[in-house]
Amino acid sequence: MMETKVNYAVVGAFVLLLATALVAAALWLASGGAVKKKYDLYLAIEEESVAGLNLNAPVKYNGVDVGKVRQIQLDPGNPERVNLLFAIEHGTPIKEDTVAVLKTQGLTGIAYVELSGGADHAPLLQATAGNEYPVIRTKPSLSTRLENVLTNVLAKLDATSNNLNAMLGAENQAAFKNTLADLASVAHTFAARKESIDAGLIDAARLFAHAAQASVKLEPTLDRLGRAADAVEKMGNEVTLTSASAGKTINSVGGDVGRFTAETLPELERLLRELSVLSTSLRRLSEQMERDPSALLFGQRPVPTGPGESSTGERQR
């Protein structure tokens, strides 16, 4: 039986070629293979501490990984600012209203960059004159906002504490103590006069009840007064109209009255004189009738002569 001869050189070469192919394939797959991704570079300027943020930290857009942090360095012109260079997948819609915020993931405290924004009508972000990369706007992180709020709160608490210390000084404490003593005295006084105060409150309640009843009874009277006032107002308007008409009538009659007075007044005076004479005669007749009623039937009798007078009416001598 013949023994098969093995060519160890060929086997060794084959193993080396296979190992080389495996390493190359692993490197090719690690680098993205046939679908190698392209990245665009963007700059973001942070004005707060970026502690916890490392190179190759993820950059997320609404929670989706879209790139990595390529570079972290201080701004040479202003050391209070930090320049962050992002490598973001080509085709990611980074727009002018996109905002970058530093966030931490879970309890581990691993920092990453969260992008948000990007309205439909907003244009894509482009590099401006004087800038090598497009600059993404930033806003303070949650920790920075909380720190600012706490700082303001602590400052206000400190001011309030100082005001309280000033208000509660020795003089104010003494005045406050005196005020409390006065209040206690007033409270004791009210307590001693509790019965009289209760009686006064009961009387006041009765007074209010009577006033309410009186107001209810007064409403019809007020209504009648209102209607009477309306009637008086109407009558006054009518009297005004009547007086205006009377004024016109008097003006028209004034001329006729003047003429009547000029023509009739002399005759009226003569008539009055005759009436006066007639009145005098009637008075005399009345007096005579009272003295001698028979004179109305038999006529006037001659007056008898008195003692010492003759029939001729002469006195005898």
Within the chain, strands assigned E span: 39-46, 58-61, 64-75, 78-89, 99-105, 110-116, 135-138
Beta-bridge partner residues of 40: 88
pLDDT in tens, 163-207: 877 777 777 778 778 888 888 888 888 788 778 888 888 888 888
- The DSSP bridge pattern shows strands 99-105 and 58-61 to be unpaired
Q: How many CA atoms lie within 13 A of 312 on its CB side?
A: 3
Beta-bridge partner residues of 74: 82
> How many domains does the chain fold into?
1
Query: In angstroms, rounded to a whole number, what is the distance separating the alpha carbons of residues 273 and 49?
Result: 134
Q: pTM for the full model?
A: 0.44
245 located within any domain: no
3 located within any domain: no
58 located within any domain: yes
> What pLDDT sits at residue 43?
94
Cβ-count burial of 136 within 10 angstroms (0-12 exposed, 13-18 middle, 19+ buried)?
buried
108 located within any domain: yes
> What pLDDT sits at residue 73?
92
50 located within any domain: yes
Residue-range definition of the domain harbouring residue 90:
36-140
178 located within any domain: no
304 located within any domain: no
98 located within any domain: yes
- Residue numbers of the chain with a pLDDT score lower than 50: 1-2, 34, 296-297, 311, 313-317
